Amino acid sequence: MGIKGFKVDFMDRDDQTAIEMVERLAACTAKHHLILDLHGIYKPVGLNRTYPNILNYESVFGMEECRWTEAKNDMPLYDVTFPYIRMMAGQVDFTPGAMRNGTRDNWKAIYTKPISMGTRCHQAACYIVQDSPFTMLADTPTNYEADEPYTRYIASLPVVFDKTIVPQGEIGKYIVTARKKGNDWYVGGQSNWDERTLTLKFDFLTDGDYEAIVLKDGINANHDAENYKIEKSVINQKSEMKIHLASGGGFVIKVIKK
């Protein structure tokens, strides 16, 4: 396969020396047709417009923090806050996809076997809510192999889109994002630690029928954050769908044109 690019980490500063180094990295990788993923970096400031081979900037309290952070650093709250603020500056390198998931009551930091705060479906929704053209499955391969239906579902999600809308949400409480790719749509939603039931409308769809493949919190997700279910239905632009988000929950809907 060869080398496709570099993920560079631990700049951890935004003085002139660091900024000049990042520009040299961007120019060099662009010259050799390589991608660049900037981790441990300041927020996007427009350099990726000059060098579109820069696919991601971290500059976010990402998934890795669950290895050593404290429960007071409320990640479900953060996940429904920064898309309204930080993500306005550009894409993020959040590294989602945790397969060990904890509720508000049973989460704890374990460095060698990290656990995400919130449900497994909350993690899945990161792939839609967050703008991340070079995202990843950040957990260990064996954890994904142990749950093939879930892994197959999230691995099928696009990472770049033609159109994005946010049909509903409230900063610090919840967010619903819908993204279009070709004739299909992908809808993702996340909640803070408050469970809630949302009514989704699909008036952004064009005429015709679509298959909705829903990945959502299972009935026991408030107690077992890894509990989920997958359902299918046929919808159109006049359809409405009620969907329940567990505490720290989430959902993804693949809306495929029939």
Distance, CA of 244 to CA of 215 (rounded, Å) = 11
Please give the backbone phi and psi of residue 227, each rounded to the nearest 5 degrees, phi first.
-80, 130
**Cβ-Cβ contacts under 8 Å for 116 (sequence gap 6 or more):** 63, 66, 75, 98, 100, 101, 102, 122, 123, 225
- Which whole-number Å values give the CA distances from 168 to 2, 67, 114, 159, in the listed order? 42, 31, 31, 21
Helices 148-155 and 120-129, interaxial angle, to 10°? Answer: 10
Which one is catalytic: 9, 20, 105, 162?
A: 9
Strand order in the sheet with 5-8: 5-8, 35-38, 54-57
Long-range CB pairs of 17-21, under 8 A, 24+ apart, other chains included: 18/42
23 is catalytic: no
194 is catalytic: no
Distance, CA of 93 to CA of 69 (rounded, Å) = 18
Q: Residue 184 in contact with residue 161, Cβ under 8 Å? A: no
Residue 40 — left, alpha, or beta (φ > 0 → left; ψ -120 to 50 → alpha)? left
Which one is catalytic: 64, 65, 209, 224?
A: 64
Distance, CA of 137 to CA of 97 (rounded, Å) = 5
Question: Which residues are annotated as catalytic?
Answer: 9, 64
